Amino acid sequence: MAKLLLAALCLLGAGVLSAQDENYLEATTQPATGNVQQGATQRQCLSFAIMRLSNFGDTFQTVTVRNNGTAQAADFNQLQIWFDANDSDTYEPAGPDQLVASAASSAFPVTFPAFNHGIAAWSVFNYFISVDVAATATVGATFCWR
Ligand SMILES: [Ca+2]
């Protein structure tokens, strides 16, 4: 009976491996702490990667951003998601990195409107999130992204 159970577990394990179809969020990172001028646009504030473990592609469709700092909706105009199109791990909004979606300012957490960005099979796609700081942002307000 023990041998039969072991064989059954091995088959179950093989089945799980062959049916692998998952996405993983790799560690998020923030730029070094520093000051940002009022009215600054497209300032990188967060980066993350999605690792796709599957023989099939998938579609990335939403992001929700939280702020553990003191900045409020009036302190920024919009957030944007950028795809690291040249896989350089460097934020290059002037090109070749590509704008994926924009979210207008609102109270945190900010959820981006639905978008569709294809992720290839067996890949790691890097993304950046940028902020447009309001010209009238509160001096001393902080962004601490999650
Ligand atoms: Ca890049």
The CATH number assigned to the domain holding 111 equals: 2.60.40
Ligand 1 center from residue 89 Cα (angstroms):
6
b/e map of 84-96 (b: 16 or more CB within 10 Å)? beeeeeebebeee
Taking the C-alpha atoms of residue 46 and residue 17, their distance in angstroms, rounded to an integer, is: 33
Residue 105 lies in a domain: yes
Q: Is the pLDDT of residue 71 over 70?
A: yes
Q: What is the DSSP letter of 96?
A: T
pLDDT, mean over the chain: 85
Ligand 1 center from residue 54 Cα (angstroms):
24
pLDDT at 16: 40
Residue 140 lies in a domain: no
Strands 98-104 and 123-133, by their bridges, are unpaired
Ligand 1 center from residue 106 Cα (angstroms):
27
Backbone angles phi, psi at 80, to 5 degrees: -135, 150
Ligand 1 center from residue 92 Cα (angstroms):
5
Residue 53 lies in a domain: yes
Residue 12 lies in a domain: no
- How many other CB atoms sit within 10 Å of the CB of residue 40? 16
Confidence of residue 131 (pLDDT cuts 50, 70, 90): very high
Residue 141 lies in a domain: no
| Number of domains comprising the chain | 1
pLDDT at 32: 82
pLDDT at 146: 62
User: Averaged over 38-63, what is the pLDDT?
Assistant: 93
Ligand 1 center from residue 98 Cα (angstroms):
9
Q: Is the pLDDT of residue 26 over 90?
A: no
Q: Is the pLDDT of residue 4 over 60?
A: no
Bridge partners of 60, per DSSP, are: 117
Residue 5 lies in a domain: no
Residue 4 lies in a domain: no
Residue 95: domain span: 21-133
**Residue 130 tokens, joined:** 């940028």
Q: Is the pLDDT of residue 17 over 70?
A: no
Q: Is the pLDDT of residue 68 over 90?
A: no
Q: Is the pLDDT of residue 11 over 60?
A: no
Report yes or no: 76 and 129 within 8 Å, Cβ to Cβ: no
Ligand 1 center from residue 96 Cα (angstroms):
6
Ligand 1 center from residue 10 Cα (angstroms):
43
